[in-house]
């Protein structure tokens, strides 16, 4: 019997749930790490990075067969540019990713008895940070497109490992995701970013993602399947 493809509603639910769990992990592990690290920022960042990388492996492995586990508007935009998802569905993916991101941040706040709605005061700005976000997102898309031919498990491992590393080798600590960036503006915690600094991060992320897509196309990592409606 042929396998039935997930319905659009199922794919959207997977994207919302996955992005929500990702943000709950990013923010929640940041709060826990900062609390337990007793002022050791390096240790707090290490804990934050490991938790985020581990959660990405789980989310992509579980949700990849349902929605592709984009969990990231920049990634969805890349697949749109490659003809692997239609414009209407990509817009729906991005909408639920953003909703999931906000819900995930609020879930983290609720778990740690913090105000549900906050605005970050953490400054993250400057050319070095913007360039770092471009590099971070370039590398993320590179990891995804390069591992697709090896299956969901390979994508999960590559993305989880890459993001864990990118927390450390990028000056911005690798947001690499517009939904994550917007969600983190709503948390005045270890993982936050001031709302006024988010647009430049997002612009750098989109530029990095599209540059990576073009580079991978030039290297022969072509589209795998026709566009969906």
Q: Residue 149 is part of a domain; what is its CATH number?
A: 1.20.1080.10
Within a domain: 167: yes
Does a structural domain hold residue 223? no
Confidence of residue 4 (pLDDT cuts 50, 70, 90): confident
Which residue, 210, 146, 140, is CA-closest to 175?
140
Q: What value does the mean pLDDT take over residues 118-137?
A: 97
CA dist 11 and 137 (Å) reads 23
Tens digits of residue pLDDT in 84-120: 999 999 999 999 999 999 999 999 999 999 999 999 9
- Written as six digits, the tokens of 83 are 């003809």
Which comes out higher in pLDDT, residue 52 or 222? 52
Mean per-residue pLDDT over the chain, rounded: 95
This prediction's pTM: 0.94
For 131-182, the pLDDT digits (tens) are 999 999 999 999 999 999 999 999 999 999 999 999 999 999 999 999 999 9
Instruction: Please give the residue range of the domain that contains residue 65.
Output: 8-218
Identify the band that residue 2 occupies on the pLDDT scale cut at 50, 70 and 90.
low
Spatial distance between the Cα atoms of 93 and 12, rounded to a whole number of angstroms: 6
Residue 136 half-sphere exposure toward CB, CA atoms < 13 A: 29
- Closest among 32, 54, 53 to 43, alpha carbons compared: 32
Structural domains counted in the chain: 1
What average pLDDT does this structure show over 50-69?
98
Would residue 225 count as lying in a domain? Answer: no
pLDDT of residue 99: 98
Spatial distance between the Cα atoms of 91 and 15, rounded to a whole number of angstroms: 12
Residue 180 lies in a domain: yes
Residue 1 lies in a domain: no
Q: Does residue 226 lie in a domain region?
A: no
Asked, for residue 224, whether it belongs to a domain, the answer is no
Cα 181 to Cα 113, 173, 204, 220: the distances in Å are 22, 12, 11, 31
CA nearest 132: which of 200, 38, 84? 200
Provide the pLDDT for residue 210.
Answer: 97
- Asked if the structure places residue 176 within a domain, the reply is yes
């Amino acid at each position: 019997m042929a396998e039935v493809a997930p319905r659009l509603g199922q794919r959207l639910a997977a994207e919302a749930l996955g992005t929500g769990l990702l943000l709950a992990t990013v923010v929640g592990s940041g709060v826990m790490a900062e609390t337990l690290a007793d002022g050791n920022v390096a240790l707090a960042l290490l804990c934050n990075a490991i938790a985020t990388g581990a959660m990405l492996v789980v989310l992509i492995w579980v949700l990849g067969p349902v929605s592709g586990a984009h969990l990231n508007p920049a990634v969805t935009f890349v697949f749109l540019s490659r003809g692997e998802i239609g414009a209407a569905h990509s817009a729906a993916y991005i909408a639920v990713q953003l909703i999931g991101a906000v819900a995930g941040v609020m879930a983290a706040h609720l778990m740690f008895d913090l105000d549900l709605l906050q605005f970050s005061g953490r400054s993250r700005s400057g050319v070095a940070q913007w360039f770092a976000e471009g590099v971070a997102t370039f590398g993320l898309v590179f990891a995804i497109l390069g591992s697709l031919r090896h299956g969901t498990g390979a994508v999960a491992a590559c993305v989880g490992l890459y993001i864990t590393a990118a927390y450390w080798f990028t000056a911005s600590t690798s947001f690499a995701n517009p939904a994550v960036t917007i969600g983190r503006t709503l948390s005045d915690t270890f993982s936050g970013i001031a709302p006024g600094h988010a647009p430049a991060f997002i612009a750098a992320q989109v530029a990095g993602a599209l540059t990576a897509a073009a580079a991978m196309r030039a290297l022969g990592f072509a589209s795998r399947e026709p566009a969906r409606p």
